[in-house]
Structure 1
Amino acid sequence: MNRLAERFSKIVERFLPDAFVIAVILMLLMMVIALVMNPSDPLTIVESYGDGFWAYLTFTMQMILLLMTGMALAKVPFIERFLIRVASLAKSANQAYVLTFLVTSFAYYINWGLAVIVGAIIAREVGKRNQKAHFPLLVAAAYAPTVLYTAGLSSSIGLSVATEGHFLESMIGVIPTSETIFHSGTIIILLALLITMPIFLVLMAPKKNIIPFVEKEKKISSRIDGDEANKHSFASRLEHARIWGIITGIIGLLYVFISFFNGRDLDLNIINLTFLSLGLLCHQSLFRYAEAFKDAATSISPIILQFPFYAGIIAVLGSSGLAENIVNWMASVASTETFRLFTYWTAGFVNLLAPSGGGQWALQGPLQVAAGAKLGVDHAITAMAVGWGDGWTNLIQPFWALPILSVVGLHIRHIMGYCILLSVWVGVITSILIFWVY
């Protein structure tokens, strides 16, 4: 297995281009396919792309805030110190891979924005202490739990359908999280992947040509934290006063507690407010929180750049009828028992073109729900099958790996060979389980 992984990784490193190049090529490919399917109406395809380019601005902002508030929370000094102490627990290369995977998995369950920086910190600190560990595989181990976020507290689809006023409410109503992310079937799949994925990572570990972690020279911040001239000025004292962050954080958390007391379920907005408030409360100083937020923005700039292009792809998929054709074909060959499995596979394919759980649900959800309803499939199961498919091919869609790679200083091609092989295993075990546990 390690020989296969090494050879495959070298092939991927040679041929895989930058993630932004992949996004643009996919966009052009979708437009060509759309034109082939609708040769008499090329301007409509161009218009749908332009209209869709900005169609998901609200959702984009929710996703960016989810990521940035999680990353800012992970930069709280006592959390960073805790992660560094945890990293010291790994005493061998194999322990390094397993520890990195498990710690990041826990973070992904809580919040995938938090997990990005937690994974980067753990991979970096474990790599420092284990020079025999292959650093690209360590980073792959930190990114691999992205497949698990579907079952976590920041699940885009699970939280979306639990939010009042969501776009499919007229078709499926509001589905509580007890029927999606807290369903027993979801928990079984989650545990199966948690147990088997680190074993697969260890089997892929190279025995030679190890690339250890190398400390890069740190850049000196251009902004000095209170220079001598202004350190005791009124403005500086105001910026660094702890009271503002504490008060603002408490107010936000109080709102969250009141909302849950009044019966509100988890949704994207409440998760974002929770992590924003916790970040403010823990950083205390508004200056420190703003600096942590600024650092997070630097890491996710590739996502901000590429999200509109993928929104355009989603729009072209919808307007061309390609997505509808895929779902209709699937519904024609599926039965009530196999529908969830075909939904999982279809979602995995669509995610390669539209790597956003919420954006993909906006495109695929109405079609999938309608097809499932004809076969009498529970809407919650349909939603989770789409979610698992989305998480599965996140492993081979480089979009969401960009922030962690930005933090650790690697390119997508350094880890993608391992992620592709791991995705094969995830696809097999999830396909088997999703057929039986829902």
Structure 2
Amino acid sequence: MNRVVPPARREHWLARTALRCAGFAERWFPDAWVFAVLGVLIVAVAALACGARPQAIAQAFGQGYWSLIPFTMQMVFVVIGGYVVASAPVVARLIERLARWPRSGRGAVAFVAAASMLTSLLSWGFSLVFAGLLVRALARRPELRMDYRAAGAAAYLGLGAVWAMGLSSSAAQLQANPASMPPGLLAITGVLPFAQTIFLWQSLLLTAVLIAVSVLVAYATAPGEANARGAEADAHDRIPDRSDAATPARLRPGEWLEHSPLLTILLSLLAFGWLAGEFAAKPAARAIADLNTYNLLFLSLGLLLHWRPRGFLDAVAKAVPGTTGVLLQFPLYGGIALLLTGVPGTGGETLAHRLSELFVQVASPDSFALVMGAYSAVLGFFVPSGGGKWIIEAPYVMQAANELRVHLGWAVQVYNAAEALPNLVNPFWMLPLLGVLGLKARDIVGFTFVQLLVHVPLVLGLLWLLGMTLEYRAPVMP
């Protein structure tokens, strides 16, 4: 008599691991806002244990709570701009065509992973929304039997794996632009052009390996047809995929301009005229690194692609629900950042300074990449801000690199590669994508956790190995 093997036992061991992690996360992983509150409390208790006064802790939290408001609004517009462009009819048609390519559920998950990571090298904001809408288009193909959770996790890999290795790397952009650097940092590092950071052959090789391995893990961890879970009806319908604003047959006088391209043309002339001046006055990579420029570019492009203001406004309205988590959580992370850097404890040292000493003191030229990578990853779990955190870390980390005679550009890339690791399980950056997909962090973190288990030894090992091929160069001042 043949024994019937349960479907779950026929899965690859990585898929079984991901399913178990997903099941654990669905039951025990808190909502992203709860996660952020717990982070605040943990850092506050740690500061208290280091000798900080309770009143100073409370004041720092209150002062830091609103410190990220400009950044918060920039992130909100990254979500809105990315969604508006990605949901424009011409882009939606492109997504629909791309969604026809995969021939199996697991193949679809791997395809989403590759698309997410490749687009993130150009723009992480567009990558999140584009990949999210690609998942939604694939979910409309029931014959694929694609697991919606695994596909959502794959869509997040652009931000969870390689975004900081591309053109939108805040740290690399900052180091290449002396006018943007704090004077103290400029004196330590000098100017580090892209040729010394993201365009190093070691960096390009690391990025290629991460993309290839991440796609393989996404494919291996995706549940087969027997265990695949599709999109829930309420999640799939929460945000429509298209923004087709057909012109009504009869318009009231006040609605005419909403359905006419006249305003689109006039406003686009102003916006693109300013953008043309920015890109003419600065290198393209430097201009696009400014989040305000980036956001205006995407909003203006979205308006132009939708052609009529009504279609543009409808797309914005559909994008706004995806920003709710950003608006509620970013202030909490602002409080955490100031608790780490602005509350002196015993001896007047902050918690961030104590953490830096703990790692920097045990570093050597050979172990610097491992120590710095581990430190940046741990701190990034509590302060998930690529550019802002680099400004905090860079003065003492790069000074240590100078003293240990470590290649300064590679030190930036060590930060970039390691800083992305906590993104794989930290819901902070998941929020825009979760809003598009109608999922919660617990739905995808089981799959991204398996990616983290693979990435940690891979990233740290490659950072150490490739770093040995580089020689120290003295800082070059502008």
What is the TM-score when the length of structure 1 is the normalising length?
0.91
CA contact (8 A) 1:369 1:379 kept: yes
**Candidates 318, 333, 340, aligned match of 1:310:** 333
Deviation sequence 1:276-324 (CA, Å, 0-9, x none): 3433332333443343333333212211211111111011111252221
Aligned match of 2:253: 233
Q: How does 1:394-413 map to 2 (within 5 A)?
A: 394-413=423-442
CA distance in 2 between counterparts of 1:220 and 1:342 reads 43
CA contact (8 A) 1:23 1:310 kept: yes
Q: How far off its partner does 1:354 sit?
A: 1.0
Aligned match of 1:24: 37
Deviation sequence 1:234-291 (CA, Å, 0-9, x none): 6632663242244234314422431246995652244334333433332333443343
Q: Give, as a single letter, the amino acid of the residue that structure 1 aligns with 2:61.
A: Y
CA distance in 1 between counterparts of 2:285 and 2:42 reads 46
CA contact (8 A) 1:244 1:286 kept: no
Q: Give, as a single letter, the amino acid of the residue that structure 2 aligns with 1:212.
A: G
Higher Cα radius of gyration:
2
CA distance in 1 between counterparts of 2:444 and 2:378 reads 21
Gaps of 5+ in 1: none
CA contact (8 A) 1:245 1:281 kept: no
Aligned-pair Cα RMSD in Å: 2.7
Aligned match of 1:66: 78
CA distance in 2 between counterparts of 1:194 and 1:264 reads 25
Call closer, same or farther: CA 1:374–1:401 in 2, change over 3 Å.
same
Aligned length: 436
Aligned match of 2:165: 151
CA distance in 1 between counterparts of 2:180 and 2:36 reads 31
Gaps of 5+ in 2: 1-13, 345-349, 468-478
Aligned match of 2:106: 94
Aligned match of 2:471: none
* 1:332 matches 2:361: yes
**Candidates 289, 294, 299, aligned match of 2:317:** 294
Deviation sequence 1:184-209 (CA, Å, 0-9, x none): 22211110011111111222122433
* 1:180 matches 2:197: yes
Residue 274 of structure 1: SS of its match in structure 2?
helix
CA distance in 2 between counterparts of 1:59 and 1:343 reads 26
Q: How far off its partner does 1:69 sit?
A: 2.2
* 1:10 matches 2:23: yes
CA distance in 2 between counterparts of 1:372 and 1:214 reads 50
CA distance in 1 between counterparts of 2:117 and 2:275 reads 25
**Candidates 260, 266, 273, aligned match of 1:251:** 273
Aligned match of 2:129: 117
Call closer, same or farther: CA 1:2–1:180 in 2, change over 3 Å.
same
CA distance in 2 between counterparts of 1:56 and 1:380 reads 28
**Candidates 394, 408, 416, aligned match of 1:365:** 394
Q: How far off its partner does 1:218 sit?
A: 4.2
User: Among the aligned pairs, what percent are the same residue?
Assistant: 27
Residue 397 of structure 1: SS of its match in structure 2?
coil
CA contact (8 A) 1:110 1:153 kept: yes
CA distance in 1 between counterparts of 2:116 and 2:365 reads 36
**Candidates 275, 287, 301, aligned match of 1:278:** 301
Residue 110 of structure 1: SS of its match in structure 2?
coil
Call closer, same or farther: CA 1:189–1:36 in 2, change over 3 Å.
same
CA distance in 1 between counterparts of 2:132 and 2:55 reads 44
CA distance in 1 between counterparts of 2:433 and 2:444 reads 11
Call closer, same or farther: CA 1:292–1:256 in 2, change over 3 Å.
farther
Q: How far off its partner does 1:50 sit?
A: 1.8
CA distance in 1 between counterparts of 2:270 and 2:448 reads 41
CA contact (8 A) 2:124 2:158 kept: no
What is the TM-score when the length of structure 2 is the normalising length?
0.84
Aligned match of 2:228: 210
Residue 181 of structure 2: SS of its match in structure 1?
coil
Decide which moves more: 198-207 or 389-398.
198-207
* 1:162 matches 2:188: no
Q: How far off its partner does 1:25 sit?
A: 1.0
Decide which moves more: 26-35 or 401-410.
401-410
CA distance in 1 between counterparts of 2:356 and 2:284 reads 38
CA contact (8 A) 1:248 1:280 kept: no
CA contact (8 A) 1:150 1:387 kept: yes
Q: Give, as a single letter, the amino acid of the residue that structure 2 aligns with 1:185.
A: Q
